[in-house]
């Protein structure tokens, strides 16, 4: 067994590191003064006044300068002391944040990000023996096989964990809804390579299908769910026909227009959609016909009565959580399976090169229409669930920003990556909700996190776009840790 010599860290050039850090601190100062330095406060009897927060500006600039120096030292091979120091600052910052010191919480968050970067550097520079390098891909493969089972067990047990309350469950339901939407759009954008900026239109079709049928025909959630998906798929095919010859920016413009058409129709078709007032009192989903009510109506049996439980509104939240979890897992299983079928491989071929795809005898018309229809169907299912969860829908819930957020989830997660979309949904949807404690710094922290991800992972969190099936799989030890 031979042991590779660890790379020797080069000497430290103090002045370039200091100059770079001061330049970063100056940029941070220019940005922080107008964004953080002033706060408007309500002065009784006078109106609005200004509150100066130059102390917070100083903390932010100092954090940027010290962080930049630390990053330079990590790049020079001094990752271990930076890792230990950043972990200590992280613990101290989060401890102070629990006592209400939000500035310490932000410093702790920045130190946590720095600790991750230092840990990655230490891992890469660790002097692995040759046989350990050979075993590492096997360990990675084992972890990759066990990870789905671990995530599934965690997702099933999540509502019963001690720190989970109603608010956390609501956030988890919201995140799972966007995970399902991201997986649906991933078929169109990530697999077939068709840029769709109007995806929220199918979401709205599913939601209004249940809203209208539930109000006018007495449909329950379970009766309206397949209809919402089928009607959204039909709209996907209707959108797919006029855009068959379009690509890239032109396709994005047409789909953007389609999304706005649907929203304007919902706003103006007052007799059916309720116009700007929307549709209220949408029926809630029941558990095999047993509603989640405190007081039963017309001699009905409620969920709590049937199981002998004391009524709690959390029961309905947990039930909604498992509904959207089951729907998301079904979408994931369907997508993973269909990627290995001819239609899935045709999507990937269309994404890589449409001309080569035609030369191979693949019908691009059917390929595009199937991608639009299936992606839209999953959005329709998610929209139906959204209407059942909210009990009220209006066109304000289906604006372009929703399409942008869903597309951002797909791009940030790494187009074509199912797990990446889950991580991106947690970052884009869950993180802003958990950061509400930071009040006015919430979106600033969210933006800083997004910038950090784009700097370190510009291609997405999991940006691998390997074909599902290779004609000639890679051989040798280097391929042991990769997918085939």
Tell me the β-bridge partners of 50.
Answer: 40
Token pair, residue 343, equals 């239609």
**What phi and psi values does residue 141 have, to the nearest 5 degrees?**
-65, -40
Distance CA 292, CA 76 (A): 60
Distance CA 238, CA 128 (A): 57
Token pair, residue 138, equals 């096997």
**pTM exceeds cut of 0.85:** no
Distance CA 429, CA 423 (A): 10
Contact 65, 22 (CB under 8 A): yes
Contact 41, 52 (CB under 8 A): no
Residue whose entry in the numeric block shows the structure tokens 């956390």: 168
E strand or H helix at 16: helix 14-36
Contact 402, 386 (CB under 8 A): no
3-class secondary structure, 129: strand
> Which of 187, 183, 235, 232 lies closest to 346 in space, CA to CA?
187
Contact 304, 331 (CB under 8 A): no
What residues have CB less than 8 Å from 48, skipping those under 6 apart? 40, 41, 42
Can you give the pLDDT at residue 483?
A: 41
Give me the domains of the chain, ranges plus CATH numbers: 14-125 (no CATH), 169-288+313-456 (1.10.3470)
Per-residue pLDDT of the chain (484 residues; tens, 9 = 90+): 444 544 545 566 788 888 888 898 888 888 888 877 787 777 776 677 778 888 888 888 888 888 888 888 888 888 888 888 888 888 887 777 666 676 777 787 778 778 887 887 887 777 665 555 555 556 666 666 777 788 888 888 888 888 788 888 898 999 999 999 999 998 888 888 888 888 899 999 999 999 999 888 888 888 999 999 999 999 888 877 777 677 777 888 888 888 889 899 999 988 888 888 888 888 888 888 788 877 777 777 778 778 877 878 888 899 999 999 999 999 999 988 888 888 888 888 888 888 888 888 888 888 888 888 999 999 999 999 999 998 899 998 888 888 888 888 888 887 777 888 888 888 888 777 766 666 566 666 667 667 776 777 766 666 655 555 666 655 554 444 444 3
Tell me the β-bridge partners of 48.
Answer: 42
């Amino acid at each position: 067994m031979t042991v590779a010599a660890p790379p020797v860290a080069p000497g430290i050039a103090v002045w370039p590191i200091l100059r770079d850090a001061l330049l970063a601190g100056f940029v941070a100062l220019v940005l922080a003064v107008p964004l953080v330095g002033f706060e408007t406060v309500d002065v009784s009897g006078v109106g609005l006044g200004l509150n100066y927060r130059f102390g917070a500006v100083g903390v932010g600039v100092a954090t940027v300068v010290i962080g930049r120096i630390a990053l330079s030292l990590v790049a020079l091979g001094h990752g271990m002391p930076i890792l230990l120091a950043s972990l200590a600052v992280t613990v101290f910052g989060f401890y102070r944040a629990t006592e209400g010191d939000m500035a310490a919480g932000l410093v702790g968050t920045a130190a946590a990000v720095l600790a991750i970067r230092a840990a990655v550097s230490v891992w890469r520079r660790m002097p692995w023996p040759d046989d350990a390098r050979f075993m590492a891909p096997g360990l990675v493969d084992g972890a990759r096989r066990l990870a789905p089972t671990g995530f599934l067990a965690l997702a099933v047990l999540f509502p019963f964990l001690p720190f989970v309350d109603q608010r956390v469950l609501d956030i988890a339901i919201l995140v799972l809804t966007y995970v399902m939407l991201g997986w649906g759009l991933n078929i169109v954008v990530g697999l077939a390579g068709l840029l769709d900026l109007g995806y929220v239109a199918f979401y709205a079709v599913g939601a209004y299908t249940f809203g209208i049928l539930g109000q006018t025909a007495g449909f329950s959630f379970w009766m309206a769910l397949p209809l919402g998906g089928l009607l959204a798929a039909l709209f996907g095919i209707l959108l797919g026909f006029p855009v068959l010859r379009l690509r890239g920016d032109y396709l994005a413009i047409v789909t953007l227009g389609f999304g706005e058409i649907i929203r304007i129709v919902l706003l103006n078709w007052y007799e059916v959609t309720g116009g700007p007032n929307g549709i209220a009192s949408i029926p809630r989903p029941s558990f095999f016909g047993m509603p989640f009510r405190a007081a039963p109506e017309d001699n009905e049996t409620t969920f709590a009565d049937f199981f002998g439980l004391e009524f709690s509104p959390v029961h309905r939240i947990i039930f909604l959580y498992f509904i959207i979890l089951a729907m998301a897992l079904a979408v994931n299983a369907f997508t993973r399976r269909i990627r290995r079928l001819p239609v899935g491989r045709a999507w990937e071929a269309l994404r890589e090169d449409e001309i080569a795809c035609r030369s191979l005898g693949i019908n691009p018309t059917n390929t595009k229409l199937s991608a639009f229809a299936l992606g839209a169907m999953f959005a329709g299912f998610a929209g139906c669930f959204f209407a059942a969860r909210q009990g009220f829908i209006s066109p304000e819930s289906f604006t372009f920003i929703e399409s942008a957020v869903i597309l951002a989830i797909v791009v940030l997660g790494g187009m074509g990556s199912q797990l990446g979309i889950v991580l991106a949904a947690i970052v884009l949807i869950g993180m802003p909700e958990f950061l509400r404690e930071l009040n006015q710094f919430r979106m600033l922290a969210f933006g800083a996190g997004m910038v950090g991800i784009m700097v370190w992972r510009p291609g997405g969190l999991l940006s691998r776009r390997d074909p599902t099936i290779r004609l000639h799989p890679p051989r040798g030890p280097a391929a042991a840790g990769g997918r085939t």
